[in-house]
């Protein structure tokens, strides 16, 4: 486990963008695992900037996102498909056919999940996985539970997550209560993982993830078992280490 402590959100975003850009440069047909939420927004802005300076080419890149709200279509402004298009894909030369996000509108979440897992495998698994972390230490939407979920699956979001994510919606009632999320198998099979965390709200989760036991009640703690994981965390997120 490698820990890169940086000053603030901006330095975290720059560092993460640099690692992602290097991955794309080194292997131009990389498979990237991408995250949503507020944490990676700065990184995506930096990536777009690097792209504009013509330093990276996404034409052969494939991406898989971690999760999508169940019940939202990609056209919904709160969906993660919409988020990815707005914040990254519409600004770079990626072929959208090669960008994958679970279909939140499926009427068969199990089939959708199985197909998603198969597709990740068909593409040779993820080269670089980018993760954020919830204040309850969830990664993707893998909530604290009695066991680690393996494959992509339909998740009941817990109250803390629904409350935290309500800041993106008009009201608490509008926040979807379920999501389709990659499980730990795809995440742990990624060749390299970077986890980004910024702010005091993440300090406890970071401490438990890095220093605590490997338990499903702290989903991100499973990363202790990964051979190539780098935490890029700012001073506040690192304050309890
Ligand atoms: O980055 P945020 O907005 O704090 O969210 C934390 C995590 O929760 C999610 O929004 C749910 O998957 C992730 O995308 C993110 O990593």
CATH number for the domain including 145?
A: 3.40.50.1360
* pLDDT confidence band for 221 (50 / 70 / 90): very high
Does any domain span residue 231?
no
The four Cα atoms 78, 82, 153, 181 give a dihedral, to 10 degrees, of -90
What integer pLDDT is reported at residue 87 of this predicted model? 98
42-86, pLDDT tens digit by residue?
999 999 999 999 889 999 999 999 999 999 999 999 999 999 999
CA distance 191 to 119: 17
Query: In this predicted model, what pLDDT tens digit does every residue of 126-143 receive, in sequence order?
Result: 999 999 999 999 999 999
Examine residue 106 and state whether it is found in any structural domain, yes or no.
yes
Q: What ipTM does the predicted assembly reach?
A: 0.93
Euclidean distance between CA atoms 11 and 203, whole angstroms: 17
* Ligand 1 contact, 140 CB (< 6 A): yes
Q: Examine residue 214 and state whether it is found in any structural domain, yes or no.
A: yes
- Does residue 233 lie in a domain region? no
Q: How many domains does the chain have?
A: 1
77 an active-site residue? no
Q: What are phi and psi of 145, to 5 degrees?
A: -155, -175
Q: How confident is the model at residue 240 (pLDDT cuts 50, 70, 90)?
A: very high
Nearest CA to ligand 1 atom 6: 134
Q: What's the 40 CA to ligand 1 centre distance in angstroms?
A: 9
Distance from residue 36's CA to the centre of ligand 1 (Å): 6
Give mean pLDDT, residues 83-94. Answer: 98
Instruction: Ligand 1, residue 38: give the atom nearest the CA.
Output: 3
Instruction: Supply the range of the domain harboring residue 37.
Output: 2-218
Q: H or E element: which one contains 67? A: strand 67-69
Q: Whose CA is nearest to atom 9 of ligand 1?
A: 37
Is residue 235 one of the residues assigned to a domain? no
Check residue 55 and give its pLDDT. 85
36 lines ligand 1 (CB under 6 A): yes
pLDDT digits (tens, 9 = 90+) for 150-187: 999 999 999 989 998 898 899 999 999 999 999 999 99
> Is-catalytic flag, 136?
yes
Specify whether 204 is catalytic: no
> Does residue 229 sit within a domain?
no
Distance 37 CA to ligand 1 centre (A): 4
Averaged pLDDT for residues 3-11? 98
């Amino acid at each position: 486990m490698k820990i890169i402590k940086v000053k603030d959100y901006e330095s975290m975003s720059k560092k993460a963008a640099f690692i992602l850009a290097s991955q794309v440069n080194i292997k131009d047909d990389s498979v990237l695992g991408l995250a949503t939420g507020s944490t990676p927004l700065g990184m995506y802005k930096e990536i777009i900037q690097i792209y504009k300076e013509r330093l990276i080419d996404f034409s052969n890149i494939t991406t898989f996102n971690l999760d999508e709200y169940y019940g939202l279509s990609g056209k919904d402004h709160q969906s993660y498909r919409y988020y990815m298009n707005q914040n990254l894909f519409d600004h770079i030369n990626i072929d959208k056919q090669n960008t994958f996000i679970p279909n939140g509108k499926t009427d068969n979440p199990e089939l959708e999940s199985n197909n998603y897992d198969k597709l990740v495998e068909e593409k040779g698994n993820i080269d670089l996985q980018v993760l954020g972390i919830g204040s309850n230490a969830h990664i993707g939407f893998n909530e604290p539970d009695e066991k680690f979920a393996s494959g992509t699956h339909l998740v009941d979001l817990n109250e803390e997550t629904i409350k935290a994510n309500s800041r993106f919606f008009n009201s608490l009632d509008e926040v979807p209560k379920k999501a389709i999320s990659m499980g730990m198998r795809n995440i742990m099979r990624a060749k390299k993982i970077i986890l980004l965390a910024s702010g005091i709200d993440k300090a406890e989760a970071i401490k438990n993830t890095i220093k605590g036991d490997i338990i499903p009640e702290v989903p991100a703690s499973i990363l202790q078992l990964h051979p190539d994981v780098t935490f890029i965390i700012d001073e506040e997120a690192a304050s309890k280490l």
